[in-house]
Chains A and B, each alone.
Chain A
Amino acid sequence: MTLNWTPEVIVAFIIAIIGFILTITTYIKPKTKKITSLNYIRLAIFSFSIFIFLDGLSILYVSKFLSIFSGFILIPLTLSLVIGITYITKESYYSHGFITVVGLSVLLIYLGFQPNAVDIQIQGGYIRLPWMGLFNVVGMILTAISEIYMLYWGIKTLRNAPFLIKKEAYLFFFGIFIASVVSMVFYVLYLIDPFYILLSNIALLIGLLTVTLSVMIEPKLLYILPFTVYRIVVKDREGYPLFDHDWSKSEISENIFTGFINAIQLMSEEIMNIGGLLDIQLKDGILILHESENITVGLITSKSSKLLRSSVANFTRDFENKFEKSLKEGNKDMREYESAQELIEKHFSNFPSRIITHKKKPLLLTEVLLKLPLSLETALRTIFKDEKEYNFIKSEIFRTPKSTAAGFISLYKELKKELDDKEITHEQS
């Protein structure tokens, strides 16, 4: 049997290989793998690779059956993409897109079994198997839905990408734009001239390569939309803070957060056993609490999930093991537990940090690290005996115009004299 090797077949196989690599990458690269939405997106990428592979194979073997079968693969492809992206944004499977795709899928299957769904033609000097009639129309609509959803995902990811991975998010969006918009434009042009199917496939190839590359560089891109992790706090059984880490600013106030942990610690016997997990629904998020022998770990997040709960449980276990000696000795010095940062890397590495909101956001150094001129420092030390008060004034000085400190010293002397004079007058009178 003679194989029908055409440029379209070669490009289709290359795209299929890239698609398989992307599927494997999205599975291997992230340390955390059990995110429902990502599983669907992975399934969509896998289906796409099968679809394009079967499409190439149908041309290679000039097989109508394979061509129709590749058309049927559009169903799991579009469905899983629609479900995955809907789940990312709404944490639900159902959407208008889902119902539309289900309806079109039934129609596509019916049309696929009709005669003349696929034809064998010579287009641009090569044997091709174009889909015909309504089968082609429904197939194109499903493809368009997939590409619109992909574009939506790209835009949402780019818009929500935190500052630290913005660069990679642009690359990711660029790939999605090429694979969806550019590829779709060429696909429409293919209706006029069959040559454009090649350009459409090449655009898909470049787009997919770029998306793969960006995800390989920064797997956190896949975790931007599912949920926002705000903060983790570790406290000992007496309620002393041992470690904390912020991913982003939370609307939940420090008092509520600490209050909850303390209250739970007090009631832990009744509510949760040691080793138990508890989800508390707050107005602005979820507090996941985990209690172990020596510590209580609290994580604030926008949504609760199995994945996050198991991450908290594993983090707690490793924290207990790593600092067993310090915890047993009752050490409360937070510096002792600073190296728990590596456990954050281990268990929460996929969640992007949003702590730097903007590259131009002005920053200040903490007052304890700032140095004042010696004469000013001496003068302030004589006025402010309380260390906390002194540090507060110091931090204020760095935020004020240069002459404020000097103005303060002279006003202080003036008013102090006034007070002293008045005290003398008062005593005399």
Chain B
Amino acid sequence: MSTLNLALSLTLSHPSVQSVIEIAKEVINNNNVLDTELLYSLAKRRLKFPRKGLLSIIQLLINKKVLVEGSKYTKDEVLNNKYRFNLYRFLTSNLGAHFSTIRKHIITDSSGNLGSSGQLIWHLEMLIKFNYVRKIKVKNYTIFLPYEIGDEIGLLHFVLRDEIYLKIIQLLLSNEKLKRSEVHKLVNEKRETIYYRINNLIEFKIIKLSRDNNSLSLNSRKREDIISIITAFSQNKSQIKKLHFNNK
């Protein structure tokens, strides 16, 4: 093949161009790193094109954006994506946020929809894969935490975001002991709703039940953490919302 003829008639549908694309596909599908040198040497060996002609084809493929500069993601590159960066920033500034909250804040903005749940979940998976975040399951909620935040702190943030949990805990902060049966009156919520939450708080080891099963007290080991989280939340009331539990 003459270099000149090749250069003049090069289009993406040209059989020679297609053969080089096939070789590039093969390299990528075999999970190898594709670069100009590798593509050139493989194509040269198999297709026996002259140097200049082959380089013109590779140049055309880059020019027409069939081949684009890029490689497998490294941890540093993952956050180059603006969506992912914003998502990660949201998760670090909203510790203990669960999927529904994230979805609400990330996908919907003032202009409307910013993509599907599928895209959001993809980016969450990427952040998990590259150890930026991890997920914990609390009851029927999936919580996404920055990788370096421990489960206990993450759980406390999640719990204190719920206004009913918060009210119960605030009561226990100001009263060393409270009768279990009186809490719902003090919080002014349905008895079963409060009992469900109290049981959860006991299960999460945030509060303790006395031996006679009647009175409740705050786990003293978590007191300081709780106070600092509540203080932080009090500066931004929007962090606190009501959670919907599937009591079943």
Report which A residues bind B (CB closer than 8 A): 163-164, 245-246, 338-339, 341-342, 345, 353, 355-366, 369-371, 383-386, 389, 392-393, 396, 398-404, 407-408, 411-412, 414-416, 418-419, 421-422, 424-426, 429
Contacts and interface: CB of A to CB of B under 8 A. Distances in A.
Contacts of A369: 21, 25, 66
Q: Which of B12, B35, B62, B63 is most buried by chain A, counting CB atoms within 10 A of its CB?
A: B63
B126 A359 contact: no
Interface string B1-35: 00000011111100000000100110011010111
B69 A361 contact: yes
Nearest to A356: B36
Contact of A362 (B8, B71, B117, B244): B71
Sorting the interface of chain B by its residue count into under 10, 10 to 19, 20 to 34 or 35 or more gives 35 or more
Contacts of B58: 356
Nearest to A359: B37
A400 B36 contact: no
11 contacts: A338-B11, A365-B68, A366-B68, A369-B66, A370-B28, A399-B72, A400-B129, A411-B121, A412-B118, A419-B103, A425-B245
B199 interface: no
B117 A419 contact: yes
A365 B125 contact: no
Contacts of B119: 384, 389, 392-393
Interface in B31-64: 31, 33-37, 39-40, 55, 58-60, 62-63
Contact of A396 (B33, B103, B117, B122): B122
Nearest to B69: A361
B18 to A, nearest CB: 10
Contact of B35 (A362, A365, A400, A408): A362
A407 B133 CA distance: 14
B112 interface: no
Given A246-B63, A345-B8, A411-B121, A418 B55 contact: no
Given A371-B25, A396-B126, A412 B35 contact: no
Nearest to B70: A364
A340 to B, nearest CB: 10
B246 interface: yes
Name the prevailing secondary structure of the B interface residues.
helix
A-B CB proximity, top 7 nearest = A362-B71, A359-B37, A383-B118, A408-B125, A364-B70, A338-B11, A342-B8
A419 B100 contact: yes
A12 to B, nearest CB: 36
Contacts of B35: 359-363
Nearest to A167: B51
Q: Which of A246, A342, A355 is most buried by chain B, counting CB atoms within 10 A of its CB?
A: A355
Interface in B130-145: 135, 140-142
B65 interface: yes
Given A164-B59, A363-B68, A422 B246 contact: yes
A371 B29 CA distance: 8
Nearest to B64: A338
B245 A364 contact: no
Contacts of A422: 100, 140, 244, 246
B118 A384 contact: yes
Contact of A415 (B39, B126, B142): B142
A305 B90 CA distance: 50
B124 to A, nearest CB: 7
A211 B167 CA distance: 85
A345 B3 CA distance: 12
Nearest to B71: A362
Nearest to B31: A402
Contact of A341 (B11, B40, B117, B245): B11
Contact of B9 (A342, A357, A401, A411): A342
A360 B66 contact: no
A363 B39 contact: yes
A425 B70 CA distance: 45
